[in-house]
Structure 1
Amino acid sequence: MDSHNNQLRRGLDERHMHMIALGGAIGTGLFYGSATTIQMTGPAITLAYLIGGVVIFFIMRALGEMTLAEPVSGSISHYAGRYIGPFAGFLAGWTYWFMWIIVGMAELTAIGTYFQYWFPSVPQWVPSLVALVLMTLVNLLHVKAFGEFEFWFASIKVFAILAMMGGGLLLIFGPIDHGSTSTGVDNLFAHGGFMPHGWKGFLLSMVLVFFSFGGVELVGMTAGEAKNPLKSIPAAVNKVIWRILIFYVGALTIMLMLYPWNEIGTKGSPFVMIFDQIGIPATATILNIVVITAALSAFNSGLFSTSRMLYHLGLEGQAPRIFTKLNKAHAPQRGILFSSLLLSVAVVLNYLVPEKVFLYISSVATVAVITSWALILLTHLRFRKANRTTAFNMPFYPYSSYFALAFLGIVVILMAYVDSTVIALIVAPVWYLLVFVSYHVRQRIATKREKPAATS
């Protein structure tokens, strides 16, 4: 790092870390994307999220073990570069940045869609633009401001989901009158059965299930700015599986018991739609506020991640040095503004193709997410071969790593069979080629600069 004044500050408390990890696990994939996955596989979507959650837990433990050994900003890129090689670090860093750019676009799209619940005549791109400007301003402040925003955003999500689950259980089993709508466990097995579209629909739903989990690895990115990473990181990582069980499997099970799965549409959040159609419009309005908060939270985290990754890549000489410059609040201002500029593409897409933009964006994001997770697992294998261990070792190593890698490979293959995700398999090779060429161009430029310095 250049100087003390050009270093990121450790301003994130343990409570921030817990909520950042929780916020990364609860976002648009649950509130909005679950509508599409429910249509693909019916009530069996709960099993899909459970299996996906086990895979994610292993990935998080691999990252957590490395982060505990070396709590640095830009962790994924740093570890890949150190234990696999410079190109791996370059690929991991820029792919992770790309992933959050795409995820951020998906969140902006969801925000535009949610506002149409109240203002159907307002174009989808308008709320997206407002959210982009607002969150950019937040990220330009001190990292503690980001932490506070994320803490309260995540707190609202957690409280709302728990309240919704409690209210849902009362509607199903309690004395609350829910009108003529049929509710109960029967909804999980009626209307075609638990897995109405068979194993094909179940397997294909795994593509969007994995997109839903994108962001859980954010804990690793915050390590460089955590006040007490050795304590907060293990605690946050270990709670991932419980968050998934409660907020994905639990919440969706209750939602599917409340309303028949085949009558849940794909416009808007299924959480909002279910309560609205049961006849509780006030609750639906409150939930719409919550899902907007959730999307803003995920977008806030994404913008944070992209700027920190650019900062790290700049320090490593794998991105322009301008991204290492910090403002008076010690925030990487140029990285934030550069990422915001690219995220504005989502506003344009919402203007051009508002109906299809979410599926297109989420499919591309899924490939980037899977690439980042695969690199985490591969790096962890090399990390352990280098005899690096901590008190937070990954369970069932190395079988858990191979299992998770195999599952990620299966998801990529499945993407070829979903019309809306085929585009991602076209974009991915183009992206890998672009990264490969960019890396070697930078290497040649660096070599040419070193030769005159060596001869002078």
Structure 2
Amino acid sequence: MTHEHVAETSHDRPGLSRGLSNRHIQLIAIGGAIGTGLFMGSGRTISLAGPSVVFVYMIIGFFLFFVMRAMGELLLSNLHYKTFADFAADLVGPWAGFFVGWSYWFCWVVTAVAELVAITAYVQFWWAEVPLWLPTLAVVAVIFILNVASVKNFGEMEFWFALIKIVAIVSLIVVGVIMVATRFTSPDGQVAQVSNLWNDGGWFPNGAMGVVAGFQIAVFAFVGLELVGTTAAEARNPRKTLPRAINSVPVRILIFYVGALLAILMVTPWSSVDPGQSPFVSMFSLVGLAGAASVVNFVVLTSAMSSANAGVFSTSRMMFGLSAEGSAPRFFRRLSKAGVPARALGFTALVLLLTIPVLYAGDSIIEAFTLITTVAAQLFMFVWSMILVSYICYRRKHPQRHAASEYKMPGGLFMCAAVLAFFAFVVWTLTTEPETAAGLVSLPIWLGGLGIAWAFVRRTATHKQAFQWFKAEMEKPVDHAELER
């Protein structure tokens, strides 16, 4: 590696601007925990699992909390780690960083494309005459322009997007409690009451397989929970802000998922929930809220924009990190004067414009949307699993770091094994329905393609030199005083 090359990489890598404050990190964490799936997909989940859907969301949230805790301990064990691809490369091996980094990049590209397709549908709800290409172009342009200016702009967008979601869910819960307290009676004679939770066939009306079917869809709603991990390099005082964000995951799940679902199920018996309609729309419509559909459409639109915004942010940071490790072209290693990976942002924005031909693909867009989300969920589970594998390697290679950690993962290695077993169970649930089984083929194809690419990349001098530099960077002392300013 030339001296010029070393200077470039060593300047670029630590130069990411720490422009995300505590309020940004906390709201990004909340926004990541509330997916579009809760607003739009929960109706179908309720129709399959009945009231037991509450337990489904609690179980998924329980296991993912330990993934977050493992990620938190790893990121804080060495503050040179910018993303989970970094600690995978350092702890498991360069191949792991390559697979995790590119898989996470693809996760968010696929998810963002799906969200942009959805945004077009939401916009056409109000303005049917708008050309299909215009919403995608407008959203991508706005997100790129704001993100490229500074990381603080990303934080501000996510802050307000998350706030809209929070207000919508809290409003639903408050309205639900009032309807139950006043024993609200719907036009068809159904009374809002707590006993609706078990009056219509009990908690498990569709038996064990109904619960299994609930897992298939509910796991999609948690995609993005790990997003706070990609903000580690740009968070001020990460030793305080990251634990706060991660520790609040259980409370967020209880309020925003369990609380909202309980409110819906108490007001409307589960068998009366329309799987094809958002239960949020149905409930607000029951109380005569004018324009309930438009209000929820606005909330879901902002939720989709939040996901697309997160996709642009996370993919650009992941590509920047891959470039620093020699696993992506050197071109993406440069930072702007604002400390933002502008080239990686621009490339991501161009890739997202591929949404436009998808919109003109015909009548199969909805089916494609379902398939895309299945593919994305599998890839996210692969990334979550690699976080746990990295933690296992960390415990073996750096027992002294674990002993000194002030933010240890509860349950340690035992919980790693338990969560990995749970993921295996979720993959099995995806095989039980034709819709989701079709998407399962994509993961081995993707990983096989990465394996072929890695066979070439690992032999290049550029990768070997860049990875040597990367390992040296990981061993440098951290200026904790600088991080806390």
Pairwise CA distance, 1:394: 0.7
Structure 2 distance, partners of 1:175, 1:194, is: 21
Partner-residue secondary structure (3-state), 2:90: helix
After alignment, is 183-192 or 137-146 more displaced? 183-192
Structure 2 distance, partners of 1:48, 1:449, is: 45
After alignment, is 216-225 or 108-117 more displaced? 108-117
Contact 1:64 1:233 in 2 (8 A): yes
Figure out how many residues of one structure are paired with residues of the other and give that number: 450
Contact 2:12 2:334 in 1 (8 A): no
Residues 246, 144 of structure 1: alpha-carbon distance in 2 compared, 3 angstrom cutoff = same
Partner-residue secondary structure (3-state), 1:398: helix
Q: Write the deviation string for residues 419-453 of structure 1: whole angstroms up to 9, x where unpaired.
A: 12123211111100111111111123338998xxx
Structure 2 distance, partners of 1:267, 1:123, is: 25
Structure 1 distance, partners of 2:464, 2:173, is: 61
Residues 262, 446 of structure 1: alpha-carbon distance in 2 compared, 3 angstrom cutoff = farther
1:229 aligned residue: 238
1:163 aligned residue: 171
Pairwise CA distance, 1:8: 1.0
1:43 aligned residue: 51
Alignment of 1:247-396 (within 5 A): 247-267=256-276, 269-352=278-361, 353-386=364-397, 387=399, 388-389=401-402, 390-396=405-411
After alignment, is 417-426 or 261-270 more displaced? 261-270
Counterpart amino acid of residue 329 in structure 1 = A
Contact 1:311 1:324 in 2 (8 A): yes
Structure 1 distance, partners of 2:36, 2:296, is: 13
Counterpart amino acid of residue 445 in structure 1 = T
Residues 257, 175 of structure 1: alpha-carbon distance in 2 compared, 3 angstrom cutoff = closer
Q: Write the deviation string for residues 229-250 of structure 1: whole angstroms up to 9, x where unpaired.
A: 0100011000011101110111
Counterpart amino acid of residue 378 in structure 1 = V
Pairwise CA distance, 1:125: 6.0
Structure 1 distance, partners of 2:281, 2:121, is: 12
After alignment, is 20-29 or 2-11 more displaced? 2-11
Asked if 1:84 corresponds to 2:92, the answer is yes
Residues 263, 347 of structure 1: alpha-carbon distance in 2 compared, 3 angstrom cutoff = farther
2:215 aligned residue: 206
Asked if 1:241 corresponds to 2:220, the answer is no
1:406 aligned residue: 421
Identify the match of residue 68 of structure 2 among 60, 65, 79. Answer: 60
Pairwise CA distance, 1:269: 3.1
Structure 1 distance, partners of 2:35, 2:173, is: 17
Contact 1:62 1:380 in 2 (8 A): yes
Contact 2:325 2:463 in 1 (8 A): no
1:219 aligned residue: 228
Contact 1:59 1:376 in 2 (8 A): yes
Scaled by the length of structure 2, what TM-score is found? Answer: 0.86
After alignment, is 236-245 or 278-287 more displaced? 278-287
Identify the match of residue 9 of structure 2 among 2, 26, 46. Answer: 2
Residues 177, 35 of structure 1: alpha-carbon distance in 2 compared, 3 angstrom cutoff = closer
Pairwise CA distance, 1:370: 0.5
Residues 151, 120 of structure 1: alpha-carbon distance in 2 compared, 3 angstrom cutoff = same
Structure 2 distance, partners of 1:107, 1:447, is: 36
Structure 2 distance, partners of 1:81, 1:244, is: 31
Contact 1:108 1:347 in 2 (8 A): no
1:14 aligned residue: 22
Structure 2 distance, partners of 1:277, 1:340, is: 41
Contact 1:20 1:147 in 2 (8 A): yes
Give the aligned CA root-mean-square deviation in angstroms.
2.4
Counterpart amino acid of residue 430 in structure 2 = M
After alignment, is 123-132 or 250-259 more displaced? 123-132
After alignment, is 346-355 or 12-21 more displaced? 346-355
Structure 1 distance, partners of 2:155, 2:251, is: 22
Residues 423, 407 of structure 1: alpha-carbon distance in 2 compared, 3 angstrom cutoff = same
Pairwise CA distance, 1:331: 1.9
Identity in percent: 39
Counterpart amino acid of residue 394 in structure 2 = F
Partner-residue secondary structure (3-state), 2:429: helix
1:418 aligned residue: 433
Q: Write the deviation string for residues 199-227 of structure 1: whole angstroms up to 9, x where unpaired.
A: 11211221222221111111111000111
Residues 314, 51 of structure 1: alpha-carbon distance in 2 compared, 3 angstrom cutoff = same
Residues 278, 116 of structure 1: alpha-carbon distance in 2 compared, 3 angstrom cutoff = farther
After alignment, is 276-285 or 239-248 more displaced? 276-285
Q: Write the deviation string for residues 381-410 of structure 1: whole angstroms up to 9, x where unpaired.
A: 111122131111011122111110000011
Pairwise CA distance, 1:262: 3.4
Residues 350, 205 of structure 1: alpha-carbon distance in 2 compared, 3 angstrom cutoff = farther
After alignment, is 427-436 or 287-296 more displaced? 287-296
Q: Write the deviation string for residues 74-133 of structure 1: whole angstroms up to 9, x where unpaired.
A: 421111111111101111111111111122123223323433443456576653443233
Residues 254, 400 of structure 1: alpha-carbon distance in 2 compared, 3 angstrom cutoff = same
After alignment, is 316-325 or 154-163 more displaced? 154-163
Scaled by the length of structure 1, what TM-score is found? Answer: 0.92
Gaps of 5+ in 1: 451-456
After alignment, is 279-288 or 53-62 more displaced? 279-288
Pairwise CA distance, 1:417: 1.5
After alignment, is 386-395 or 183-192 more displaced? 183-192
Residues 73, 395 of structure 1: alpha-carbon distance in 2 compared, 3 angstrom cutoff = closer
Structure 2 distance, partners of 1:270, 1:113, is: 18
Counterpart amino acid of residue 242 in structure 1 = V
Residues 175, 409 of structure 1: alpha-carbon distance in 2 compared, 3 angstrom cutoff = closer
Counterpart amino acid of residue 357 in structure 1 = A
Contact 1:109 1:124 in 2 (8 A): no
Structure 1 distance, partners of 2:27, 2:463, is: 46
